[in-house]
């Protein structure tokens, strides 16, 4: 008897966005970005490009390009674009952000993808990403930059409960993050940070698909591995809960 191939449980089906972002906050972001009436939108490290699609819906006639290496996420983005009548205005390209030569865009989105711009170690990759983004938007254009930061310096004991090899040097605080944006020739139009509810919805949503799968596959040969992975991620999240922040910086290029 041939064994049924193992299909990993879904980890994003409960999520609208692949970051700690509520629908209410996303609506405010879209309103502000749409206010500049962009013609072209780039979404770098787009995942399934949900924020880009919402912005295109808010700005009739604008066209968008999303770039990511995850084929499954891109397929979801294309399907969502088609279901909303945006297929002719939204293009999804599979490939590395660092190799993308398109642009410039009137609005450029980069949420949680600063690591995709090069090989610099954290936190130097943040400055590297901001400088690259400045070259992909014209003067007066907007960039939405989503990036992690320390809400307060973590202790050694707290770092030990986070991801393997977590270091206090990996992230800067919010003030330093805004200063990095200024050094890359951006002015901050709007500074906001994910709240605890958004973090909990994001992290719980990330794990919900695995937990549903485990509930109906208790005896599956892979259940122990799935359970261990879910437990490890939950432990990591609870380790940085209230310590690791996530900022959404709406920036104007100058």
Give the model confidence (pLDDT) of 57-104 as tens digits.
Answer: 999 999 999 999 999 999 999 999 999 999 999 999 999 999 898 889
Bridge partner list, 90: 64
Q: Is the pLDDT of residue 199 over 70?
A: yes
pLDDT (0 to 100) of residue 24: 97
Report the alpha-carbon distance of residue 14 to residue 177 in Å, rounded.
30
pLDDT interval class at 10 (50, 70, 90): confident
What pLDDT digit, counting tens, does each position of 131-141 carry?
999 999 999 99
Q: Is the pLDDT of residue 23 over 60?
A: yes
Q: Residue 52: CA atoms inside 13 Å, Cβ hemisphere, count?
A: 36
**If you average pLDDT over every residue of the chain, what do you get?**
95
Report the alpha-carbon distance of residue 223 to residue 157 in Å, rounded.
30
Instruction: Judge contact between 12 and 229, C-beta under 8 A.
Output: no
Tokens 């809400």 correspond to 151
Residues whose CB falls within 8 Å of the CB of residue 68, separated by 6 or more in sequence, listed in order: 45, 46, 47, 49, 74, 92, 93, 94, 97
Q: Is the pLDDT of residue 200 over 50?
A: yes
**In the chain, what percentage of residues exceed pLDDT 70?**
98
Tokens 């711009």 correspond to 117
Which domains are assigned to the chain?
A: 23-151+161-195+244-253 (3.40.50.150)
Report the alpha-carbon distance of residue 238 to residue 242 in Å, rounded.
9
pLDDT interval class at 56 (50, 70, 90): very high
Q: Is the pLDDT of residue 3 over 60?
A: no
Cα 91 to chain centroid, rounded:
18
Sign of CA dihedral 64, 66, 71, 73: negative
Of residues 118 and 251, which shows the higher confidence score?
251
pLDDT (0 to 100) of residue 161: 96
pLDDT (0 to 100) of residue 224: 95
Residues whose CB falls within 8 Å of the CB of residue 35, separated by 6 or more in sequence, listed in order: none
pLDDT (0 to 100) of residue 5: 62
Report the alpha-carbon distance of residue 209 to residue 230 in Å, rounded.
10
Surface-to-core class of residue 242, CB atoms within 10 Å of its CB (0-12 exposed, 13-18 middle, 19+ buried): exposed
pLDDT (0 to 100) of residue 1: 41
pLDDT (0 to 100) of residue 4: 54
């Amino acid at each position: 008897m041939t064994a049924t191939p193992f299909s990993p449980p879904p980890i994003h089906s409960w999520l609208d966005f692949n970051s700690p972002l509520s629908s209410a906050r996303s609506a405010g972001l879209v309103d502000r970005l749409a206010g500049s009436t962009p013609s072209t939108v780039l979404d770098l490290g787009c995942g399934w490009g949900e924020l880009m699609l919402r912005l295109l819906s808010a700005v009739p006639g604008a066209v968008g390009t999303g770039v990511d290496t995850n084929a499954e996420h891109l397929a979801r983005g294309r399907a969502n674009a088609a279901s909303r009548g945006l297929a002719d205005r939204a293009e999804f390209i599979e490939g590395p952000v660092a190799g993308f030569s398109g642009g410039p865009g009137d609005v450029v989105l980069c949420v949680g993808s600063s690591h995709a711009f090069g090989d610099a170690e954290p936190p130097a990759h943040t400055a590297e990403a901001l400088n690259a983004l400045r070259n992909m938007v014209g003067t007066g254009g907007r960039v939405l930059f989503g990036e992690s930061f320390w809400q307060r310096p973590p202790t050694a004991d707290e770092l030990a409960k986070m991801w393997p090899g977590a270091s206090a040097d990996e992230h800067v605080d919010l003030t330093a993050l805004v200063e990095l944006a200024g050094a890359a020739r951006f002015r901050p139009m709007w500074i906001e940070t994910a709240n605890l509810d958004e973090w909990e919805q994001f992290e719980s949503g990330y794990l919900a698909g695995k937990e549903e799968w485990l509930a109906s596959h208790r005896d599956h040969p892979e259940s122990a591995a799935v359970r261990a992975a879910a437990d490890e991620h939950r432990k990591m999240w609870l380790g940085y809960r209230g310590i690791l922040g996530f900022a959404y910086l709406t920036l104007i290029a100058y």
